[in-house]
Amino acid sequence: MDASTAVAADMPEPIDLRIDSDSLARHVESLGAIGAQASGGILRPVYSLAWRDATAQVAEWMSNAGLDVYRDAVGNVFGRLAGSSDVTILTGSHIDTVPGGGRYDGALGILAGIEALRVLRECGRPKQSIEVVALCEEEHSRYDTGFWGSRAILGLIDPQEPDNLRDQQGVPIGEAMSQLTLDPAQIASAHRRDLTAFIELHVEQGPTLEAEHKQIGLVQSIVSLSMLRIVVLGRADHAGTTPMNERSDAGYAAACIAREVVDLTTRLGAPAVATVGAWRVSPGASNIVPSHVELLVDVRHPDEAAKRQLVAAIGEAAHGIAKRTSVSAVVSTRADIPPARLDPGMVGVIERGIQAGGYSYREITSGAGHDSQLMSRHVPTGMIFVPSASGRSHCSEEFTPNDDCVRGAEVLAHSLYELAYE
Ligand code: HGY
Ligand code: MN
Ligand code: MN
């Protein structure tokens, strides 16, 4: 018997985990319609009515796929394929979106997980249970929550957060939960102690896989990320009568700060990135010199020390500009998320899942933040990327061809099979 037959003899029969391509395509479209905005893109912030309808819809699809469906205290929705032991492998992603978000960010990880569990169910009862989860919140779109859904699962929500975390209208997150019949007093019950692994399928949200014609991204690490709030305080004055040299124009100072955020980052060079994503100006009329501007700043770098250095430089620049323009500036941190190195064992499982399909792939660092970043500090975690058309995301143009989505779901199914059945 020659070597290749010998090898073939002890290689396990490749299992056929064919994903239902039509079902996946239909669900991406239907879920993308929930919260769709006339102006383009999706608006599905946590505990909004669109969020409520989207979680109900994925619960129905999980049930139709033959999974046991349940919801935890913060509104994470789970579809369970019960195994013979009492530990669980979790896959999934977030169901909330950024304002004007795309149909794939978060959603694809949930929908591919449903399809993967649908085919795995045909393989009989797994040794370890497998669950797909629609995580209730990841995007910080409504509250400065920092992975609310996965923090509930990991038992990392502080008791005072339901009252203290407030949205732009001042609604506490605990109240927003109660409005949807979720009980903030039960949050601690969402803490899971039975998880042995987490795998998240996600669109790359960047240009690399498409540019290099690679079908799958094997994620090794996720960037370090800081979200800052810079409040610039000037003085409201009449825009027509106040001499230019007597103004404390918070709008002008904020514009100088925003420019310096980008110039500092550009001077530091790739892979550093930063932007001022949101400006809130008040009083907000053209004939009043602005007295108050709030800037929301996003700063990222794969290296923690380099990110910290850039954040410090931005703070210094803000204070220098404030002094020069006779305003004051208060810099605070909304979220400070360290970089994550994903579990080498999980990377190996996913790599074998990719090879089972014979797909082209490359190792990649995620420039986007993910629940996996937090999960990886508590359970062995891996991520699978599929390409984003033109690298676009966090916009209505976000798109991934269904064939790519199916390949990603198949790699997920193979990875889960190795973890749960072998
Ligand atoms: O901002 C991010 O990278 C993620 O989409 N929350
Ligand atoms: Mn996102
Ligand atoms: Mn995402």
| Angle at alpha carbon of residue 355, lines to 205 and 200, rounded to 5° | 40
Q: Would you say the CB of residue 369 lies under 6 angstroms from ligand 1?
A: yes
Return the closest-CA partner of residue 52 out of 110, 111, 134. 134
Q: Which pLDDT value is given to residue 10?
A: 47
- Best residue among 98, 273, 334 to mutate for probing ligand 1's pocket (most ligand atoms within 8 Å of CB) is 98
- Best residue among 138, 202, 219, 374 to mutate for probing ligand 1's pocket (most ligand atoms within 8 Å of CB) is 138
Q: Which pLDDT value is given to residue 14?
A: 60
User: Which ligand has its closest atom nearest to the C-alpha of 224?
Assistant: 1
Verify cis geometry, omega within 30 degrees of 0, for the bond prior to 302.
no
How much distance in Å is there from the Cα of 366 to the middle of ligand 2?
Answer: 12
The whole-angstrom separation of Cα 37 and Cα 35 is 6
User: Which ligand has its closest atom nearest to the C-alpha of 203?
Assistant: 3
Q: Which pLDDT value is given to residue 51?
A: 98
The whole-angstrom separation of Cα 158 and Cα 151 is 10
Q: Which pLDDT value is given to residue 4?
A: 38
How much distance in Å is there from the Cα of 94 to the middle of ligand 3?
Answer: 7
Q: Would you say the CB of residue 139 lies under 6 angstroms from ligand 1?
A: yes
Q: Which pLDDT value is given to residue 49?
A: 98
Q: Which pLDDT value is given to residue 7?
A: 39
Q: Which pLDDT value is given to residue 12?
A: 54
Q: Would you say the CB of residue 101 lies under 6 angstroms from ligand 1?
A: no
Token pair for residue 200?
A: 């998240």
pLDDT < 50 stretches in the chain = 1-11
Q: Would you say the CB of residue 126 lies under 6 angstroms from ligand 1?
A: no
Q: Which residue has 């601690």 as its token pair?
A: 188
Q: Which pLDDT value is given to residue 146?
A: 81
Q: Which pLDDT value is given to residue 93?
A: 98
Q: Which residues contact 8 (CB under 8 A, 6 or more apart)?
A: none
User: Which ligand has its closest atom nearest to the C-alpha of 101?
Assistant: 2
Nearest atom, ligand 1, residue 98 CA: 5
185-188 long-range contacts, Cβ below 8 Å, gap at least 24?
Answer: 186/73, 187/73, 187/74, 187/152, 187/157, 187/162, 188/73, 188/155, 188/157
pLDDT tens per residue across span 316-346: 999 999 999 999 999 999 999 999 999 999 9
Nearest atom, ligand 1, residue 298 CA: 1
Q: Which pLDDT value is given to residue 1?
A: 34
